[in-house]
Amino acid sequence: MEIIRTVSELRKAIAEARSHGTVGLVPTMGALHDGHLSLVGRARNENDTVVVSAFVNPTQFNNPTDLATYPRTEEADCRLLESAGVDIAFIPTAEEMYPEEDTRVFDLGPVADVMEGPMRPGHFNGVAQVVSKLFDFTRPTRAYFGEKDFQQIAVIRRMVELEGGFDGLEIVSCPIKRHEDGLAMSSRNVRLTSEQRVIAPCIALTLKSSLIRQREWSLEETRRWVVETINRFPFMDVEYYEIVDGITMQPVKEWSDTDYAVGCITSYCGEVRLIDNITYYNKTAK
């Protein structure tokens, strides 16, 4: 595996790789876990060259403490990537990614106006900035993202559309990887105390139980039940639970308002902000 830290070296390596096949990109912020490795495995199966970027992008953090405390584990990440058969690990510095301030403002539209949008002002614009740079540097055939960040995938699709498609780049969305107790894998989980770690799976378990109740309850009853049930656990404080259309990300009021209903949750467990989601149904799936 080649570790590349500069954009010019990356462009050179990519030109070579593209001359003899496809390139799969897995953008990450490092602190890798099995969730990332499942994306890498899929990219490995589907492409000739696999590039993984590991960069804690400052422009997408609206909270300085969150940026400062975001786990950084470069050595361990490189070992994992090497054994997963990655060809190129791109690990730039902030100066390399942003030699000058990125003042671009993306017109991300309604998909970015709800849920994480208002809760984390500037976050999605920062994601669009860094991911558009990564797509420009790597010109991937396919790019892989985890569905834990469900809304982020819609935002990235919108950014790709705004930027003219990056030569037919395919955005591949991959299922959430979970621990045995149901907790969605996340780099932030390491910040949970041992007591909180025991409680945190209540998010996934409650979402799963709501799947059964959904058949008998109205959308609002289901939504409220999820919030109230999770909030009854110690440490838990739900920031929002929205049931949205899985394409437009717009909250729906009745089940009959959408063919693709996804419940998206953000909840604090102590100081740690966790996110998760569940698909109630998707009648649009082929």
Which residues contact ligand PAF by CB under 6 A?
A: 27-29, 57, 60, 127, 130-131, 149, 152
Q: Pick between residue 154 and residue 219 the one whose CB is nearest to ligand PAF.
A: 154
- Report the interhelical angle of 123-138 vs 150-162 (nearest 10°): 60
Closest approach of ligand PAF to the CB of residue 149, in Å: 5
Q: Pick between residue 133 and residue 223 the one whose CB is nearest to ligand PAF.
A: 133
Q: Pick between residue 19 and residue 64 the one whose CB is nearest to ligand PAF.
A: 64
Q: How many CA atoms lie within 13 A of 190 on its CB side?
A: 9
Closest approach of ligand PAF to the CB of residue 135, in Å: 11
Please tell me the chain's helix, strand, coil percentages from 3-state DSSP, rounded to the nearest 5.
45, 20, 35
Question: What residues are labeled active site?
Answer: 36
> How many Å apart are CA 284 and CA 286, to the nearest integer?
6
> How many Å apart are CA 262 and CA 239, to the nearest integer?
17
Q: Pick between residue 174 and residue 183 the one whose CB is nearest to ligand PAF.
A: 174
Radius of gyration of the chain (CA): 19
> How many Å apart are CA 23 and CA 87, to the nearest integer?
10
Tokens describing residue 23: 């390139």
Closest approach of ligand PAF to the CB of residue 83, in Å: 21
Tokens describing residue 155: 């935002």
Closest approach of ligand PAF to the CB of residue 165, in Å: 18
